[in-house]
Structure 1
Amino acid sequence: MKLSKILLSGAAICAATSAGAVDLEVMHWWTSGGEANAVSKLAEAWDATGNTWVDGAIAGGGDTARPIMVSRIIGGDPPAAFQFNHGRQAEELIDAGLLLDLTEVAEANNWKEIINPPSLLDACTIDGKIYCAPVNIHSWQWMWLSSAAYEKAGVPVPANWSEFMETAPKLQEAGITPLAMGGQSWQQNGAFGVMAVALGGVDAWTKVNEGKDAEAVMGPEYTKVFEAYGAAREMAKGLNVQDWNQATSAVIEGTAGAQIMGDWAQGEFALAGKVAGTDYECLPGLGETGVLSTGGDAFYFPVNSDADITAGQKELAALLVSPEVQVSFNSAKGSLPIRGDVDLTTVNECTQKGLDLLKDGKTIPDAASLLSPDTTTQLNDLLTEFWNTPAMTPAEVQQQYADIIASAD
């Protein structure tokens, strides 16, 4: 559905409570235990200014939340702010003139100088204007492993994907599912993306995702990835959960050995009182190719006819990027801050691994910034079909994947 011809009504869903203080409804999909803990840090910081954070959490993840948010906005009943991922998800809303220009806020607070890597702010910038406030760096490029599960199986915690596959039969013998995977399609596509970088290499991944090179999909590097993905499907049998945090809980509880999931999983480990390096281990790039994808979350602000609300939106945007909020929120979320001038001396060893990769420049763009939402949806559907169809071979899904990339935008 194109939005370019849809006009925003003047209706304001947020009312000024008093001069200088406003209630702002903020919509997001952070509803797991760790995520809710993290978003509470943002709410507390906003409430401390004398304003009020009206929480608009939507369960079910981004695939469920985004259509609801867009419907609210184009229907003339927008929230004051909403969470999207960095990338191309808000392009049509911006083209339709429905989102607030934050360039003035960004310039007043030196965002171009403090936000790192610059690609995060670039993802918020259209035609030279800045439309979102990045709040974190989230990377998909992680594998989380349960120390208790491997201790029960009598084998060391793997240091890479090859060792994971070698030790998987021992876990199965001990009644442990080697690989935890939830039932939502974005989880299966996300895990495939991690495997593509780790096992196929950055060059091949870049050709496919940035260059839209269908021939690269059919090349030997990606053939290796699809075969490994087929093997991973076998390692996930026996655990029937839907949400990503349920799969993470299986690793926390030791009923599953590992999970390929973004660094937001750390928020669940932290909430459960688990200690990195003791209760769980983490492998960036599956221990094979150590890179960090620089995706994450940003907040956008719909245009509003109420001047007090607009002023509050700009105040909130600045607050989200402030040093104190960056530390408190990202420490709880398991993500990395979007500014390098904050004190991170207390972070755990997994977060430190991420910071080291960021410092060394070992980063890649997030796929969401390279592929359109439509292409991403097609890949989600294809990979979840493969994951749930044992008769479908890696060669078959490889060809269909290439067909999607050939027509990708």
Structure 2
Amino acid sequence: MNLRFLAAALGATAALPFGAASATDLEVTHWWTSGGEAAAVAELAKAFDATGNKWVDGAIAGSGGTARPIMISRITGGDPMAATQFNHGRQAEELVQAGLMRDLTDIATKENWKEIVKPSSLLDSCTIEGKIYCAPVNIHSWQWLWLSNAAFKQAGVEVPKNWDEFVAAAPALEKAGIVPLAVGGQPWQANGAFDVLMVAIAGKENFEKVFAQKDEEVAAGPEIAKVFKAADDARRMSKGTNVQDWNQATNMVITGKAGGQIMGDWAQGEFQLAGQKAGVDYTCLPGLGVNEVISTGGDAFYFPLLEDEEKSKAQEVLASTLLKPETQVAFNLKKGSLPVRGDVDLAAANDCMKKGLDILAKGNVIQGTDQLLSADSQKQKEDLFSEFFANHSMTPEDAQKRFADIIAAAD
């Protein structure tokens, strides 16, 4: 998709002034619509409204795959919102290159974002040609296996401590009428589960060789073959899930209808909303209990260029508000994610969040595939793993060959 001509068509926009904003309404688009997500985004709205401005919520139901095309279409079509969520990485790269997104370098410099945002890769993902174009709001890690303690008790087996024990417990769960692994039907869920298996089974070094270095030989090799064997186990265990949305799959774990789910730490918001307690009602295994590494992806807000001067000033207030210590704490405690600031008090964090903070402090981190691959390459992966999980006639060997071809052509 080439957006440069669209920037020209919309006309040049004058440099926007930096300063205090008058009270004004700002439409903010995002795809946080589950119960836990809605509770978290309400904290952002509350913080912005406290500045005397008004957060006008533009939630788009579905997932990022549904919402992003709508967001991009509005921006390129001349009907931009005031701010919009994207994931850390390259999803807004072409919009920036087309001159449609606001440069936040002045406010980032004034508020010292380079010192307070940790790890530095988060702000690096917002930086194009030396200029900062987004405000990171959280660190979301995909590398978690969430387990229903009640489901394993009903099946008469111990709660697993790692992936191998989980696979071994699957027959007992099935005998008790419980789906071992809940995987929703949206393509990004199968794609994300594979990436989690990749780093857990093949290790950090091979993960980075494949996704960062685009090493086709490693992608086609024996270590990644083990990952596809694990993915084959995962699709077998997920048969019978019969839900689409990720939070519906999480609810299966909450209600004991499924033994577990591979899902990012945003699942914690759903457990919290349901009144469940980490370590009592559910168990979390970072890195599937095999390789305790977490990714430092997550969410950031971008600000389309606006002609309205008052709204432009209010954008600055919103960007600043998103990174305030109190906003970071309130939002991330409900979202289940980690703050982008390392200087905030998270004494109220639950056991699972504390595990994530400990892993982050040790530096056992990787960049997410949204940061390492273009949106097009990610889409090809999504299509492959969606088909793999849905079509059991596709062999792991055939899927690995297609995967290696995607990596060979990836950018």
Do both proteins adopt the same fold according to a TM-score greater than 0.5, normalized to the shorter chain? yes
Kept in 2, the 8 Å contact 1:10–1:304? The answer is: no
Q: After alignment, is 1-10 or 44-53 more displaced? A: 1-10
Per-residue CA distance 1:25-65 (angstroms, 9 max, x = gap): 00000000100110000011111111111000001110010
Separation in structure 2 between the aligned mates of residue 390 and residue 112 of structure 1, nearest angstrom: 47
Residue-by-residue CA offset, 1:54-100 (whole Å, 9 max, x unaligned): 00000111001000001100111100000000000111000011111
- Which residue is equivalent to 1:255? 257
Distance in 2 (CA, whole Å) between partners of 1:107 and 1:404 is 38
Q: Matches of 1:243 and 1:3 in 2, distance apart?
A: 31
Aligned residue type for 2:334: A
Counterpart of 1:14 in structure 2 is none
Q: Which amino acid aligns with 2:251?
A: S
Q: Which residue of 2 aligns with 1:146?
A: 148
Tell me how many residue pairs correspond in the alignment. 402
TM-score (norm 1): 0.97
| 1:284-295 to 2 correspondences below 5 Å | 284-295=286-297
**Aligned partner of 2:229 among 214, 227, 230:** 227
CA distance in 2, matches of 1:314, 1:259: 39
Return 5+ residue gaps in structure 1 as ranges: 12-18
Matched residue type, 1:186: W
- Separation (CA, whole Å) in 2 of partners of 1:210 and 1:304: 35
Give secondary structure in 2 for the equivalent of 1:5.
Answer: helix
Moved over 4 A (4+): none
User: Which digits, 9 at most, give the CA deviation of each residue in 1:110-131, with x for residues without a partner?
Assistant: 1011000000000001111100
Q: Return the alpha-carbon distance in structure 1 between the equivalents of residues 404 and 53 of structure 2.
A: 50
Q: 1:212–1:405: 8 Å Cα contact kept in structure 2?
A: yes
Q: What corresponds to 1:72 in structure 2?
A: 74
State the match for 2:212 in structure 1: 210
Q: Counterpart in 2 of 1:337?
A: 339
In the other structure, the counterpart of 2:34 is 32
Residue in 2 that maps onto 1:269: 271
User: When the two structures are superposed, what TM-score results if normalisation uses the length of structure 2?
Assistant: 0.97
8 A contact 1:102–1:132 mirrored in 2: yes
Does the 8 Å contact 1:10/1:305 carry over to 2?
Answer: no
Select which of 233, 237, 247 maps to 2:239: 237
Please tell me the residue identity of whatever aligns with 2:5. K
Counterpart amino acid of 2:266? W
State the percentage of identical aligned residues.
Answer: 62
Task: Give the superposition deviation at 1:10.
Answer: 8.4
Residue 339 of structure 2 corresponds to residue 308 of structure 1: no
* 1:9-408 equivalent positions in 2, closer than 5 A: 20-408=22-410
1:2 partner amino acid: N
C-alpha separation between the residues in 2 aligned to 1:199 and 1:44? 42
**Whole-Å separation in 2 of the counterparts to 1:112 and 1:222:** 36
Write the distance in 1 (CA, Å) between the matches of 2:217 and 2:164: 26
Per the TM alignment, residue 9 of structure 1 is displaced from its structure 2 partner at its CA by 5.6
Match of 1:21, SS state, is coil
Q: Over the residues paired in the alignment, what is the CA RMSD in angstroms?
A: 1.0
**Which one-letter code corresponds to 1:4 in the other structure?**
R
The gaps in structure 2 that reach 5 residues or longer are 14-20
